[in-house]
A and B are shown apart, each in its own frame.
Chain A
Amino acid sequence: MINIEHVSMRFNLGIEKEFSIKQAFVNFLSPKERKKRKKKEEFWALKDVSFNVEKGEVVGLIGSNGAGKSTLLKVVSGVMKPTKGKVTVKGVISPMIELGAGFDGNLTARENIFLNGAILGYSKKFLTEKFDDIVEFSELKDFLDVPVKNFSSGMVAKLAFSIATIVNPEILIVDEILAVGDIKFQEKSKKKMMELIKGGTTVLYVSHSLDSIRDLCTKVVWLDHGEIVEMGKTNKICDDYYKEQLS
């Protein structure tokens, strides 16, 4: 379902400086220096990453902070185009990378459900049908007509989670969002996630919790500094990763 072929992703760390007058002046005086600096400011977040995800597989991505996990998710979900290589995806993706990214604080919860739903690619018909389910799951029935800017961060997270998980997507991309809201809601949301993941969808799952990875994934990819260190059977990779982290 997901084909990742030799994907590399380059960022330019000096992009903020590039456009000032001062910099333009320096560049003008010494073009050679500019080339050198550009090379130095290059940062490869992903280097030649290739793997396949078959239908129904739950693939976990592990690695330390800055290993390129989130960048990889963004490339797969289409937010970023890879600098080199190719990503082919068959099926509709539901990205749960960041919850509530499309909320407008001035609008009420009711209005935001539709706006955020539209951003996630749901149709009007689907949203009208599922509206009550979303409201019920979020436990925010009494606050439907309150502007979201007056919500606590927990309430915002609850609402966002409820909207994002209402679909039965073909491909689910999850970046550690399980723990939102109070304890009761955390349990509920965990259960919901499990349901989604175990419901036969194809999943790309990023987490730092090895327990949940062992629990859910059929395959694990270990990334470090943008490169694949190892991939394969869940338990083996998790053991290796754990050992390496502690040593």
Chain B
Amino acid sequence: MIVKGIYNNFKRYWFLMTQLISRDFKVKYKRSVLGVVWSLLYPILMMTVMAIVFSQMFKFKVEGINYLVYLMTGIIMFNYFSEASHAAMTSVVENFLLINKVYIPKYIFPIAKCMFVGINFLLTLIPWLGVVALSHVGLGEYVCHFNWYYLLLPYVFFCFFLFTVGVGLFLSCVSVFLRDVFYIYGIILTMWNYLTPVFYSIEILPEKLQFLMQFNPLFQFLNTTRLIVVYEQAPSLVTLGILGAIGVVTLLFGAFIFRKNQDKFIYYV
């Protein structure tokens, strides 16, 4: 019953969702000559800068693997999470004018943002796969072979998406009542960036921290992707189960908080 209700609701507002997403795309690339090419170019340039900084200046290295692919995987995944959750957080407050005038299910705004950034993320996978392919001709010291485990990546990314939507729903709800969250979350994201092995390897940490890192959901997602792409190994069923659980539980938690409070949003316009 509930599932059917949610499905019908989704179907009814799907057109609005696509309109909101295409609005974001149009606004983002308005007046830029290269337009959507930036979605491909930006991560490449970003990655080049980071690669030079970390592997040449700081001499970062992870023994036995292709550090470039390792780094780029971390960057594009962390960027997806930070951009999507941040955009989702502000989405409800930004659309107050609309919420105050017309009835629209409010969850649509954070979800549309996560999907918009998600499409961008999928585009960044193209240069990412390009770098993996180039490792065969000597980019980075080690070769990353394409393998069958890649078929698990959509599942990993989907769980990652659910997790992000959950966080986004939660943040967008809290920020309605407490605008301070905008600033606090900016700081949290910076901290989270350094507390997640985006550009370093978990092995350089003391053992205690390595254990604690298991509780960082972002680490779990990054680690599994790298296991497949960089280490060319199959993730265990337990790991895949954990990823699914993180995604679903976070989503349910965010949706629960959002649903419980959404009728009160209107008073905090």
Within 8 A of B (CB), among A14-35: 15, 19
B100 partner residues in chain A, CB cutoff 8 A: 79
Chain A interface mostly = loop
Residue of B nearest to A81 (CB): B263
* B7-20 to A contact mask, C-beta < 8 Å, 1/0: 00000100110111
For residue A162, CB closer than 8 A to chain B, the reply is no
Given the known interface contacts A79-B266, A104-B23, A115-B23, the answer about A120 and B15 at a Cβ–Cβ threshold of 8 Å is no
For residue A91, CB closer than 8 A to chain B, the reply is no
Q: Which residues of B contact A (CB under 8 A)?
A: 12, 15-16, 18-20, 23, 26-27, 30, 97-104, 177-178, 263, 266-268
Q: Are A101 and B30 in contact (CB under 8 A)?
A: no
> What is the CB-to-nearest-CB distance from A62 to chain B, in angstroms, rounded to a whole number?
22
Residue of B nearest to A97 (CB): B101
Q: Are B263 and A95 in contact (CB under 8 A)?
A: no
> What is the CB-to-nearest-CB distance from A99 to chain B, in angstroms, rounded to a whole number?
9
Taken together as a complex, chains A and B put the C-alpha atoms of A123 and B11 apart, in Å, by: 11
For residue A182, CB closer than 8 A to chain B, the reply is no
Classify chain A: how many residues form its interface, as a range. Answer: 20 to 34
27 contacts between A and B (CB under 8 A): A11-B267, A15-B267, A19-B178, A77-B102, A79-B100, A79-B101, A79-B103, A93-B103, A95-B101, A98-B101, A104-B23, A104-B27, A106-B27, A106-B30, A107-B23, A107-B26, A115-B19, A115-B20, A115-B23, A118-B15, A118-B18, A118-B19, A119-B19, A119-B102, A121-B16, A123-B15, A124-B15
> What is the CB-to-nearest-CB distance from B179 to chain A, in angstroms, rounded to a whole number?
8
Taken together as a complex, chains A and B put the C-alpha atoms of A81 and B267 apart, in Å, by: 11
Residue of B nearest to A95 (CB): B102
For residue A56, CB closer than 8 A to chain B, the reply is no
A118 partner residues in chain B, CB cutoff 8 A: 15-16, 18-20
> What is the CB-to-nearest-CB distance from A24 to chain B, in angstroms, rounded to a whole number?
12
Taken together as a complex, chains A and B put the C-alpha atoms of A11 and B100 apart, in Å, by: 14
Q: Are B98 and A102 in contact (CB under 8 A)?
A: yes
B263 partner residues in chain A, CB cutoff 8 A: 81
For residue A144, CB closer than 8 A to chain B, the reply is no
* A97-114 to B contact mask, C-beta < 8 Å, 1/0: 110011010110001001
Taken together as a complex, chains A and B put the C-alpha atoms of A211 and B20 apart, in Å, by: 41
Q: Are B102 and A120 in contact (CB under 8 A)?
A: yes
